[in-house]
Chain A
Amino acid sequence: MRMRGLSILGLLVLACFPAIAALAQSSGSKTKTVQSTKSEADEGERRFRQNCGRCHNPPDALSPREVKAVLQHMRVRAMLSAEDERLILKYLAP
């Protein structure tokens, strides 16, 4: 009886491993994503200063869709690259 109880407990612990592993992985991935988004926003800010900041300050709060329109406009005007556009979007509309 005691053996049976220990076996069930062991199985439960084993069953929990994938869930714990998945949780740890998900938490790590979230941290990684947040860090990656933050570093991309920082890089976007740097590129904004180097390109857009030459002529004007960052605009007042805009929605991501508005920023996208502005950035496509400036991509043609100021010859921003696709990477500049993506990163500056992360900075202006995180």
Chain B
Amino acid sequence: MNRIVVLLAGLLCSGFGVLAQSSTPDVPIFSGALAFQGTSSAGAHSYTPIIVPVFVAPLGDHWLVESRGELQGFIAREDGTTGPYNGQFFASFDYLQLDYIANSHLTVTVGRFLTPFNIYNERCPLWIANLVDTPIIYTIGTRTSGSSNGGMVRGVAIARPKWNLTYSAYASAATTVENLQAGRTAGGRAAVFVPEAGFEAGVSYQRFLQNGGSNASGFYFAYQPPAIPFDVRAEYAHSPGGQGYWLEGAYRIAPNRDMNTWLSRLQPVARVQQYFKGTPTSIDALPSVNVNQFDVGLNYYFPHNVRLNGSYGRQYSTAGNFNVWNFEIVYRFLFPAWPGGSK
């Protein structure tokens, strides 16, 4: 534990050392989101207030310290559907990393970072995700916490006017310290992105180097054309614990992304997912039965970065079929971390 804390503190100190030497008037920022979620799953109601603060401190043109935490409450009835409401509180550190941006082809990251497996973990924080619930296969390839403690290299391997090839490769040490958990893993991701079409497809691999060792693999695609507010994303992932996929589509009701009317602020969304069990283990946090689920929802984007979301889903499995209702209000914020930064 001490070594991890000393390492993370050292990263921060070295970062601020560079800041002190920098002549560029950089300004650190606080960003993130405040959210309140309400869920009814199989008749059990729960309420979740969340704050996700993000801290970003550029240190000249090449160095960056960035961090994200998550403070979350969970209020639910004592016995699921009966009894008085009780509240619990959780806190976690998603990342605390020092980046060295060498050039477009290479960024070196050390510290605690989000595990780059498929797209959901890195690209769908709660203010971006179209639906409240994470996909069933989310834990495949992101064991044990969605974050890794170690080092990562990433960048654009090949850049062409019409397409580019991006990559990420990382290694993580096992950590059991509370709020800083990570698995002993190594892996990577490679993707092809066609900017003009808004199309991206990629593959991911992770070798879990604990508990006898196992592999997780996956692929994904995203189609988000620049001209129309259409958003399609899908992932497939496989591990010894199970395999499955999700496919999600969302459309803001407008002929283009510039339109700003009450109708264009509405975004219907739908997702289907299927999961097939393998040999689940405790570290996978995967269902022990096959599961099918669909969700339909509606987002409304208010001015000033406020979004309202409501969704209904139904889950089918041999353990029982049930309804899932979700409601969420999210406020995205961003402000300079010290006075005068907004000038």
Seen from chain A, the residues whose Cβ lies within 8 Å of a Cβ on chain B are 46-47, 49-51, 53-57, 59-60, 62-63, 65-66, 68-70, 72-73, 75-77, 79, 81-83
For the complex, is B7 an interface residue (Cβ under 8 Å from A)?
no
Interface flag for B235 (CB, 8 Å)? no
B284 at the interface (CB under 8 A from A): no
Chain A CB within 8 A of B66 CB: yes
Tell me whether A50 and B198 are in contact in the complex, defined as CB-CB below 8 angstroms, given that A66-B342, A76-B107 are known contacts.
yes
Complex CA–CA separation, A90 to B61 (angstroms): 16
Interchain CB contact under 8 A, A79 and B154? yes
Cβ of B80 within 8 Å of any chain A Cβ, yes or no, is: no
| A-B CB pair tally, cutoff 8 Å | 91
Residue contact A79 to B156, C-beta cutoff 8 Å: yes
Determine the distance from Cα of A62 to Cα of B56 in the docked complex, in whole angstroms: 15
Pick the contact of B257: A46, A47, A53, A65 (CB < 8 A).
A53
Chain A residues near B155 (CB-CB < 8 A): 79
Q: Are B64 and A63 in contact (CB under 8 A)?
A: no
Alpha-carbon separation in the docked complex, A79 to B341 (Å): 25
For window 45-69 of B, CB contacts with A under 8 Å fall at 54, 56-58, 64, 66
Instruction: Say yes or no: A50-B226 contact (C-beta < 8 A), given A66-B342, A73-B56.
Output: yes
**Further 17 A-B residue pairs, CB within 8 A, beyond A65-B26, A70-B31:** A49-B226, A53-B226, A54-B222, A55-B123, A59-B334, A60-B304, A65-B27, A65-B336, A68-B27, A69-B28, A72-B64, A75-B107, A76-B66, A76-B107, A76-B109, A77-B122, A79-B156
Q: Are A73 and B66 in contact, CB atoms less than 8 angstroms apart? A: yes
Q: A79 near B166 (CB under 8 angstroms)?
A: yes
B residues near A62, Cβ cutoff 8 Å: 334, 342
Q: In this complex, which of B29, B107, B301, B305 has the most chain A Cβ atoms within 10 angstroms of its Cβ? A: B29
Contacts A54-B198, A79-B155 given; does A68 touch B58 at CB 8 Å: yes
Contact present for A70 and B56 (CB under 8 Å): yes
A81 touches B159 (CB 8 A): yes
CA distance A63 to B341 in the complex (A): 8
Q: Determine how close the nearest CB of chain A comes to the CB of B168; give it in whole angstroms.
A: 8
- Do A60 and B305 touch (CB < 8 A)? yes
Residue contact B101 to A75, C-beta cutoff 8 Å: yes
Name the B residues within 8 Å of A77 (CB-CB). 122-123
Q: Are B26 and A68 in contact (CB under 8 A)?
A: yes
User: Residue of B at shortest CB range from A51?
Assistant: B195
- A57: chain B residues within 8 A (beta carbon): 257, 301
Considering only CB atoms, which chain B residue lies closest to A56 in the complex? B128
Query: Is B339 located at the chain interface by the 8 A CB criterion?
Result: no
Which B-chain residue is minimally distant from A78 (CB atoms)?
B123
B128 contact from A46, A53, A55, A65, Cβ within 8 A: A55
Q: In chain A, what residue has the closest Cβ to B63? A: A72
On chain B, the residues within 8 Å of A75 by CB distance are 101, 107
Q: Does B196 interact with chain A (Cβ within 8 Å)?
A: yes
Which residue of chain A has the shortest Cβ distance to B166 in the bound complex? Answer: A79
For A69, give its contact among B27, B154, B304 (CB under 8 Å).
B27
Q: Is the CB of B336 within 8 A of A66?
A: yes
Min distance, Cβ A75 to any Cβ of chain B, angstroms: 6
Q: Is B248 an interface residue (CB 8 A)?
A: no
Instruction: Determine the chain A residues whose CB is within 8 A of the CB of B320 once the complex forms.
Output: none
**A50 touching B196 in the complex, CB below 8 Å, given contacts A66-B341, A73-B64, A82-B104:** yes
Could you name 7 residue pairs across A and B whose Cβ atoms are closer than 8 Å?
A: A55-B123, A66-B341, A68-B27, A73-B56, A76-B109, A79-B155, A79-B156
